[in-house]
Structure 1
Amino acid sequence: MMSLFARWAALLLLLVLGAVQPVRADPGEMPRIAVQSDGHRTLMVDGRPYFVLAAQLHNSSAWPMVLDHAWDEALKMAPNTIEAPVYWEQFEPSPGQFDTRNVDALIAKARATDTRLILLWFGTWKNGENHYTPNWMRSDPARYPRMLDPRGEPIDVQSPFSAANLEADKRAYAALMRHLKAVDGKTHTVIMVQVENEPGSLGSVRDHGAAAEAAFQAQVPAALAAKLGKTAGSWRETFGADADEAFAAWSTASFIEQVAAAGRAVYPLPVYVNCWMRYKGFKSPGTDYPSGGPVWTMFDLWRAVTPSIDLIGTDIYTSDPGEYRRVLDQYARRDNPSWVSETEFSARTAPFLYYVLARGGIGFSVFGIDKTHPTPENEAATRAHAENFALLDPIRETIARAAAERRLHAAVEEPGRAQQSLPLADGWRAIVSFGPPPWGDTPGVVANTADMAGRVFIVQLGPDEWLVGGSQVRVEFERSDGKRGQLLRVEDGSYSAGAWQARRWLNGDETDFGLNLVRPGLLRVKTGIF
C-alpha cells in the first residue's frame, strides 16, 4: 500500500506533467533575455516584456511538507514570481540518481497559484561554502577535493580545479534542466534559473592545491588579458596586488560557466549568478566576502569568461539609500540589467524597488519572507512590499517595455533629497517632493518624512501623455524650455487586463498645486502647452 507521502507526491507529479489543465495553456515562446539595438536587456516571458516582483523563500522552505505555509506567506506580498531553492544534496542523493519531488512540488504550487517561478541551484557553492553538495561528495575528499588554504589545510569549499567536482555539478545541473524541459517545456512556469548561490570561498582567498598552484604560476590566459585590456603575463604581473582574488574569480567563473553551458545545451532558460557584495566597507576577500565571486572589482573579469550567463544579480542587505544606489550603479550597465536578486525583508527596503525602475532593470526580489514567528516588523515589511507589488504587477509589461525604450523615470526619497527633479522627454521635467503633501503651494524647503518611504515613477505613454505612480509624493510638471505648460487632464484609476480604467477625473484644488499621491496609486496625465 502506498504511503500518504507517496500518494501526495504522485498527485503532485500528475499536476506538473499536465494531468490537470495548467493555468497558462498557451504560454508562447521560451523565456529569454532580449538584447535591444542599444544593448539594453529585457526579460521576455511568453513573448512579452516581464518585470519580476519576487518573494524568495527561506533556505529550508522548499520541502513539500512545509511548502504550504511558506507559499502562503509569500503570497501575502502579492508577488508575480516566487524564488525557491533546489538542493543538490536532495536532488542527487546518490551518484546519477535524481529525486525530482521537491522541484515538482514547487512547479505544482506555482501553477496552482498563477505565479511564475525562479529556481535557485544550491550546488557547488552556497554562500561561499559547499554545504549543499551531496554527502557522497563531501565524505570522499580524495575523489572530490576541497580547496586548500595557504597552510595546505582544506576548507569547506570544493576545488574548482577538480575535474571530478566539475563533472558532478555539470551532470546534476543538466539533469535539473532536462527535467524542467520535460515537465515545463511548454508551460514555462519556471522563467529563470540561478546557477550556484553567492559563489566564491570563505576561509582562503584562493585555492592552494597542486593543480591550482600550477595554474597560478602559469601565464594569465591571453584571451582573458586581451578582453580586459591588459598585457598578458603572470598573475602577479598582470593583476598586481589583486592577483590572488583575480585568480580566484577566473577559476570560479570558469567553473560556473561550464556548468551553465551544460544546462543551456539541454534547456536554454535565462541564467544568472547572484553575488555577496563587496560593500559597507568590506575589503578582505575570503573573510569579509567570498573571494572569487562577481564583486564589482572583479565584474569585468567575470563577464569576460561567462558567455553562458545572462546577468549578475545583486544581493543587497542595507537600508542606507546611498549605499543601495551605489551598488546598483556598479552593476547596471548595457551588458548587465539592474536585478536585485535578494534584498532584506524589511519595510525600509521597499522604496528601493524604485531604484531598479530608475535604472531600467528587470526586477526585485525580497528574501526570507516566510517567517515562522510573525512580528510587527515582519507584518510591516509584508505590507510595504505588498503595496509596491500590487501597484506594479498589473503594469509589469508596461514597466518593462518602457524601461527598454528609455521612457521610464523614477526617484526615491533620500536624506537631504526630499525634493528632486526628473528630466522627461519633449521639453518636460517633473519636480517631485516627498512626504505628506502640504495644502497649497509646495514650500521652498521640503522636509524628509520620518520613514523615508516616498517614491515615484513616471512612464511616458505617448506625446504629452504620462503614467504617474508612487506613494508619499507630490509631482509637478514643468517645462524645461521656458514655454508655459498646463495639465489638460488628470485621471485617477488603475489597469485591468491591460486596459486603463479611470475612476474619476481630478481638477481644481486637486491638481492646481501638483499631483498628490499620499498612498500607492496611479494617475494618467495629459499635458499641453499654451
Structure 2
Amino acid sequence: MRQMLALLLFTGLCVLSQPGNAASASAPGLPHFERRGEATQLIVDGKPFLILGGEVKNSSTSNLDHFSRKWPLLVRDNLNTVLVPVAWETIEPVEGRFDFSNVDGLIKGARDHDLRLVFLWFGTWKNTFSSYVPAWVKRDQQRFPRMQTADGRGTERISTLSAAARDADARAFAQLMRHLKAVDGARQTVLMVQVENEVGVIPESRDHAPDAEAAFAQPVPAELMAYLAAHRATLNPQLRAAWEAAGGRSTGSWTEVFGEGSMTDSLFMSWSYARYIDHVAAAGKAEYALPMFTNAALIRPNYEPGQYNSGGPLPFAIDLWKAGAPALDFLAPDIYFDDYAHWASEYRRPDNVLFVPEARGGATGAANALYTFGALKGFGFSPFGIDERGVQLAGDPSVGLGTGGDGDPVIGALYGQLEQIAPLVLQKQAEGKIATVIMEGSAQRSGRGRIGDYMVNMVRASGPDGNVDPASRVAAMFLQTGPDEFIVVGAGDMQIAFTTDRPGPPIVGIESIDEQILKDGAMVAGRRLNGDENGQGQSLRLSSSDAAEAKVYRVRLYRYR
C-alpha cells in the first residue's frame, strides 16, 4: 500500500523522530516546504513526502481516452506522482469560456490509481515557443505581439513585454487554480504546479523587437540592482564575475552593468521572463497557494545562449529569477546531459530546494535518482516520457529517454525499492546521515565518498553478462543506521571497499553483509554474504539485478590494526 509504511523498517532502528529544528507538528494543510534538520522537505498530508515521479510526453494527456490506457503502466512502474501538462488552449478555447473537463479527468484518473499529480502549465510558452496558447491568442498578433529577430522577423513566441498576453495568461491560470481549489482543495491530488515550461529565446540570444531594444538600452531595474547588492556574497560565481568585470556598477544599462555578449542578453531575457511569470504565478497563488516552480532547459556543453534557451533559469541567472519571481517557490533543472552531479548541484542552494522534473530514465536515470535523494537531499526525481516508448532526441545518444519499451522497468524497479524505504530516506536526509557515490562516464575510473567515519571506494564490476561497461553510470546510496552500520541501495554493477581516515585502528573490515528483501513495507532477511560473496571480508558487490529482486543490503563494518 503506497506511502503507508511502518516506521520501524529495520531491526534495531528507532521510531522516526522529528529533527530538532523542524516546524512543530500541526494539522495537515496545503503541500508546503519545511526545513527539517539538514534537509528542506515537501510536506504532504502533514508528513514529509518523497516524489517518485515521471513526466508524461507532451501530448499524452490531451485525450483522456488515450491516456486511460497509461494509468496501469504508471502504477506498474511504482510511481507515486505523475507530471502532466495542462494546456492553456485546452481550458480556454474561447476567450472567457473555460472548460475543465480534461483537468477533472486527469484528477479522477490519478485518484482511481492512488497517484498524485504535478500540473505543468503550458501557458504562454512551452520549450521557448508559444505553441500551446489558444487560437484566439495565436491569431491576434496586434494584441499579443511576438518576439523578433535582429533583422525584424517575427518568431513563434509571444513577447515577454506584452502586458496583454501576461494578463490573459494570468487570468486563465487564476481560473485553473480556483477550479483546483474547488475540486481538489480537500483531497490535494495535485501537489504542485509548474508555471510555463523551459522558457527562453532561440535562435538568437534575446528579443530584438523595438520595445525590447528600448528596454535593453534602459538602466537595469533598480530593484534588481538592490537585490544583487544585498546578496553579493552569495551570488552565482559566474554572475558575480561578469558584474565585477564590468566594474561592479550600481546603475547603468544592461551592457554597462554586465558587459557585452550573449550572457548579458540572456540575463536581460531572464529578468523579462521572471517578471512575466511572477505575475502569472502570483495570480494563481491568490486563488490556491500550492507550491509553484518553473524549469530550465540547460545549455549544452560549449553552446552559447541563443543556441539553446536563452533567458531561462540557468545557473548563472538563478539570482535574477529569485529577485524577479518571488511568487515561485523554487527553480528546477531539466537534466539530460552528462555530468549530472554538477548540474544538479547548481540547483541545490540555501534558497532553492532540489527537484528534477525532467531527466533521462533507464539505468542512467536510476543512478541519477539515487544521487538526487542521497548526495543532494532532493525531494523528487522524474524521468521524461515515462508513459511511452523510449526515444532519442535529434539522434543525440547523450539524450536517451526510457529503455526502449512502454514505460521504464528499470526506474520502476528502483522506485519499488524506494517507496518502501521512503520514511527512512527522509529521516536520514534530515539527520544528515545519507550519502550517494556516483560514477559517470568512461573517464571516471573510480568513485569515492564519505558516510560517517568511513570512506567509500567504488569501481565498476562486471554485469550479469560477465563484461564491464566502462561508460556505465552506477551509484550507491548509503543510509547510516548506526555508528558502523549502513543500509545500501545500488543502481548498476559495482564493487565497493571501505577505508577510514579517522582516529583509531586504520584498517576497515566487513563484519557482515546481510541481504534485505523489501516486501510489503517490511524487511525480510535474505542470505548472509560471506567468504567469496564479500571478497573474504573486503568488499560489497552490488548488481543491476538487485532492484528487480527488491534487494538492499545491511552492511556492518569494524576496524582493526
Q: TM-score range by the shorter chain?
A: 0.7 to 0.9
Is 2:516 aligned against 1:493?
yes
Q: Does 1:254 align with 2:253?
A: no
Cα RMSD over matched residues?
A: 2.9
Paired residue for 1:267? 288
Deviations for 1:136-184, whole angstroms, at most 9, x for unmatched residues? 1111111222223333332211112122111111111111111111111
Residue 304 of structure 2 aligns to a residue whose secondary structure is coil
- Cα distance, 1:277 vs structure 2: 0.7
Paired position in structure 2 for 1:352: 368
Within 5 Å, give how 1:128-527 maps onto structure 2. 128-229=128-229, 230=248, 231-241=250-260, 242-285=263-306, 288-318=307-337, 320=338, 323-357=339-373, 358-371=375-388, 377-379=403-405, 382-414=408-440, 415-425=442-452, 427-436=453-462, 449=469, 452-470=472-490, 471-481=492-502, 482-483=504-505, 485-495=508-518, 499-511=522-534, 512-518=537-543, 519-520=545-546, 521-527=551-557
More deviation in 69-78 or 244-253? 69-78
Say whether the 8 Å CA contact 1:52–1:362 is kept in structure 2.
yes
Q: C-alpha distance in 2, partners of 1:179/1:417? A: 50
Distance 1:240 1:59 in 2: 38
Aligned to 1:10: none
Distance change >3 Å, CA 23–CA 168, structure 1 → 2? farther
Once the two structures are superposed, residues 446-500 of structure 1 have per-residue CA deviations (whole angstroms, 9 ceiling, x without a partner) of x953561432110112433321111423333433324255545543224456544
Is contact 1:123–1:196 with CA below 8 Å preserved after alignment? yes
AA matched with 2:124:
T
AA paired with 1:59? N
Q: Which amino acid counterpart does residue 369 of structure 1 have in structure 2?
A: I
Residue-by-residue CA offset, 1:201-253 (whole Å, 9 max, x unaligned): 22443334444344323221222113223522121211212332221110111
Q: Is this contact kept in 2: 1:429–1:478, CA < 8 A?
A: yes
Give the conservation status (yes or no) of the 8 Å contact 1:129–1:202: no
Q: Distance in 2 between matches of 1:35 and 1:96?
A: 40
Aligned to 2:7: none
Paired-residue identity, %? 36
What runs of 5+ residues in structure 1 fail to find an aligned partner? 1-21, 439-446
Q: Which residue of 1 aligns with 2:12?
A: none
Instruction: Tell me the residue number matched to 2:127.
Output: 127
Distance 2:303 2:36 in 1: 35
Residue 370 (structure 1) shift: 2.7
Aligned to 1:441: none
Task: Say if 1:41 and 1:334, in contact at 8 Å, map to a contact too.
Answer: no
- Partner in structure 2 of residue 44 of structure 1: 43
* Compared CA separation, residues 397 and 195, structure 1 to 2 (3 A): farther
Give, as a single letter, the amino acid of the residue that structure 1 aligns with 2:555. Answer: V
3-state DSSP of counterpart to 2:111 = helix
- Cα shift at 1:334: 2.1
User: Which stretch of structure 1 is more off in the superposition, 348-357 or 154-163?
Assistant: 348-357
Q: Within 2, Cα distance between the matches of 1:508 and 1:437?
A: 20
Note closer, same or farther for the CA distance 1:126–1:149 as it changes in structure 2 (3 Å cut).
Answer: same
Structure 1's 36 and 150: CA in aligned 2 closer, same or farther, altered over 3 A? farther
CA distance in structure 1 between the aligned counterparts of 2:324 and 2:51, rounded to whole angstroms: 26
2:364 and 2:474 in contact (8 A); partners too: no
Counterparts in 2 of 1:463 and 1:266: CA distance versus 1, 3 Å: farther
Alignment pair present for 1:61 and 2:54:
no
Does the CA contact (< 8 Å) of 1:435 and 1:454 recur in 2? no
Distance in 2, matches of 1:478 and 1:317, equals: 33
From the superposition, tell whether residues 372 and 434 of structure 1 become closer, same or farther in structure 2 (CA, over 3 Å).
Answer: closer
1:365, CA displacement in angstroms?
1.1
Amino acid at match of 1:134: P
Give, as a single letter, the amino acid of the residue that structure 2 aligns with 1:340.
V
Match of 2:383, SS state, is strand
CA gap of 1:98–1:468, structure 2 versus 1, over 3 A, is: same
Contact 1:485 1:528 in 2 (8 A): yes
Cα 1:205–1:416 shift into 2, 3 Å: closer
Which amino acid letter does the alignment assign opposite residue 278 of structure 2? E
Whether the aligned pair in 1 keeps the contact of 2:390 and 2:405 (CA below 8 Å) is: no
- Using the TM superposition, give the Cα deviation of residue 254 of structure 1 relative to its aligned residue in structure 2, in angstroms: 0.7
The one-letter amino acid of 2:291's match is P
Q: Secondary structure at the match of 1:468?
A: strand
CA–CA separation in structure 1 for the residues paired with 2:430 and 2:288: 26
Q: Does the 8 Å contact 1:410/1:458 carry over to 2?
A: yes
Matching of residue 106 in structure 1 with residue 106 in structure 2: yes
The answer to whether the Cα contact below 8 Å between 1:48 and 1:397 also exists between their aligned partners in 2 is no
* CA–CA distance in structure 1, aligned partners of residues 558 and 186 of structure 2: 47
Aligned-partner Cα distance in 2 for 1:469–1:269: 32
Q: Which residue in 2 is equivalent to 1:9?
A: none
Matched positions, count: 492
Could you tell me how far 1:522 is from its partner in structure 2? 0.9
C-alpha spacing 1:412/1:171, structure 2 compared with 1 (3 Å): same
TM-score when scaled to structure 1? Answer: 0.85
CA contact (8 A) 2:52 2:381 kept: yes
Retained in 2: the 8 A contact 1:458–1:469? Answer: yes
By how many angstroms is 1:393 displaced?
A: 1.9
Taking the aligned partners of 1:23 and 1:522, their CA distance within structure 2 comes to 19
Which one-letter code corresponds to 1:428 in the other structure? Y
Residue-by-residue CA offset, 1:332-357 (whole Å, 9 max, x unaligned) = 22222332211234544432223313
Question: Structure 1's 475 and 253: CA in aligned 2 closer, same or farther, altered over 3 A?
Answer: same
User: Greater shift after overlay, 118-127 or 499-508?
Assistant: 499-508
User: Using a 3 Å threshold, how does the CA distance of structure 1 residues 404 and 283 change in structure 2: closer, same or farther?
Assistant: farther
| CA-CA distance at 1:408 after TM superposition | 1.4
Q: Is the 8 A contact 2:371 2:475 kept in 1?
A: no
Whole-angstrom distance in 2 between the partners of 1:479 and 1:454: 22
The question of whether the paired residues in 2 share the 8 Å contact of 1:57 and 1:70 is answered with no
Measured in 1, the distance between the counterparts of 2:429 and 2:113 equals: 28
Inter-partner Cα distance in structure 1 for 2:36 and 2:390? 45
> 8 Å contact 1:347–1:381 — kept in the other structure?
no
User: What SS class does the counterpart of residue 53 from structure 1 fall into?
Assistant: strand
Which runs of 5 or more residues in structure 2 are unaligned? 5-26, 230-247, 393-401
Shift of 1:377: 4.7
CA contact (8 A) 1:57 1:82 kept: yes
